[in-house]
């Protein structure tokens, strides 16, 4: 059964659940008989993705007996390891790419998409559990459903394709009544992503994409076995910006991949300047045992890699500072997360483009949204002034 637990549960169990932070209305209770534990209650807390294993586990404990019960008590939003206001929603596991620097395919295998109905059910439960920001993740979010040939699933009694467009559109619809954010991570620049951008322009999901490009020069991309070329990436991003001018694009880049020349490196530097990536990250290439790139020739000298990394990150930081400066004077919707680390009398939260902003305000704003006017751009954060709602007339 699901819903409120009733008075038949022992008082100590109810107290335990409340101590763990579960309200009675958050619990999902599933019951199986287990003879080997005659007269004993076994309480199992499990995230939604593990629920399928419970009957098999109960079967291992013995044959049936009416006196014993296995109660699986799961909050409707699962077991969260993140703060109340945000959560990760994993939509698939594994990856079909064979990037030469990456160990993931050998560890996790090919792409396996979760059923779309299960994903949407979990998302709804998370929003109803108080989540204000849902971060959609996988090894390759834009390939969602490829392995199922975009099989049609069902959600809320209606057919929904197992495909990124339908998934993102429906997530936006589920989030809307809660005023919540949906943020997309690990999106490759496939042509199919073009269909997502109008949803961002309409405000259905955040105009934010995490696109792990890694490099720009075609020769390096070929050695990396990346799924797109630098030139096509730039053209595609330009089209996205035409459709949604407020689009924020974050990325990651590797400096010093085997065989990278100064000309190759400068191509990435130009891409960063042309696109204006926001708050991106760069990494020094290092050989990882078990990856094809570990046996590539033409290793770049460490000093050269380090110098390129420093130049790359400085270019990225310069773009981020310019974007922060343009935000001064604007009113931003901020998800308030906690007291400020620098000044406990202030609050700290994140803007839609994922920048930290510190401002004065009451602690009651934590885990909620607030309108904040940006007053100053700092090197790593923003300062702002809370726009308190006007008091209601008596």
Query: What whole-number distance in Å separates Cα of residue 42 and Cα of residue 36?
Result: 11
Give the number of other CB atoms < 10 A from CB of residue 69.
Answer: 18
pLDDT digits (tens, 9 = 90+) for 191-240: 999 999 999 999 999 999 999 999 999 999 999 999 866 668 888 999 99
Task: Kindly indicate the confidence band of residue 294, based on its pLDDT and cuts at 50, 70 and 90.
Answer: very high
Q: Are 350 and 357 in contact (CB under 8 A)?
A: yes
Residue 384 has pLDDT above 70, yes or no: yes
pLDDT score of 59: 43
Give the DSSP letter string of 187-234: ----GGGGGTHHHHHTTSS-SEEE---B---HHHHHHHT-SS-HHHHH
**Which whole number is the average pLDDT over 2-22?**
42
SS3 call for 248: strand
Q: How far is CA 131 from CA 181, 186, 207, 271, 386, in A?
A: 9, 21, 19, 35, 22
Rounded to 10 deg, the angle between the 230-243 and 262-275 helix axes is 0
pLDDT score of 203: 96
pLDDT digits (tens, 9 = 90+) for 112-122: 999 999 999 99
């Amino acid at each position: 059964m699901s819903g409120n637990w009733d008075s038949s549960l022992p008082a100590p169990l109810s107290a335990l659940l409340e101590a763990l932070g579960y309200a009675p209305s958050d619990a999902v209770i599933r019951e199986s008989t287990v003879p080997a534990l005659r007269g004993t209650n076994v309480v199992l807390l499990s995230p939604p993705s593990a629920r399928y294993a419970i009957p098999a586990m109960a079967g291992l404990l013995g044959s049936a007996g009416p006196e014993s019960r296995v109660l699986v008590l799961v909050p409707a939003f699962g077991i969260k390891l993140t703060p109340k206001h945000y959560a990760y929603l994993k939509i698939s596991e594994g990856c079909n790419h064979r990037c030469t620097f990456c160990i993931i395919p050998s560890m996790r295998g090919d792409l396996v998409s979760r059923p779309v109905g299960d994903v949407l059910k979990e998302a709804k439960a998370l929003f109803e559990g108080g989540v204000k920001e849902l971060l959609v993740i996988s090894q390759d979010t834009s390939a969602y459903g490829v392995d199922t040939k975009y099989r049609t699933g069902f959600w809320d009694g209606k057919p929904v394709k197992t495909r990124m467009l339908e998934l993102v559109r429906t997530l936006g619809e589920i989030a809307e009544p809660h005023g919540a954010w949906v943020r997309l991570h690990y999106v490759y620049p496939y042509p199919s992503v073009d269909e997502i951008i109008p949803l961002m322009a309409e405000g259905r999901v955040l105009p934010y994409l995490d696109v792990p490009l890694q490099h720009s020069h075609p020769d390096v991309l070929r050695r990396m076995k990346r799924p797109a070329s630098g030139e096509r990436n730039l053209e595609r991003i330009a089209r996205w910006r035409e459709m949604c001018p407020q689009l924020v694009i974050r990325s990651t880049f590797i400096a010093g991949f085997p065989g990278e020349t100064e000309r190759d490196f400068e191509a990435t530097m130009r891409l960063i300047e042309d696109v204006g990536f926001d708050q991106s990250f760069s990494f020094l290439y290092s050989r990882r045992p078990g990856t094809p790139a570990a046996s590539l020739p033409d290793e770049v000298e460490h000093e050269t890699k380090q110098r390129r990394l420093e130049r790359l990150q400085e270019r990225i930081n310069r773009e981020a500072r310019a974007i922060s400066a343009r935000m001064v004077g604007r009113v931003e919707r901020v998800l308030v997360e906690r007291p400020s680390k620098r000044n406990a009398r202030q609050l700290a939260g994140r803007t839609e483009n994922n920048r930290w902003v510190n401002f004065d305000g009451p602690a009651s704003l934590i885990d909620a949204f607030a309108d904040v006017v940006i007053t100053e751009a700092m090197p790593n954060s923003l300062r702002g002034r809370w726009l308190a709602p006007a008091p209601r007339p008596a």
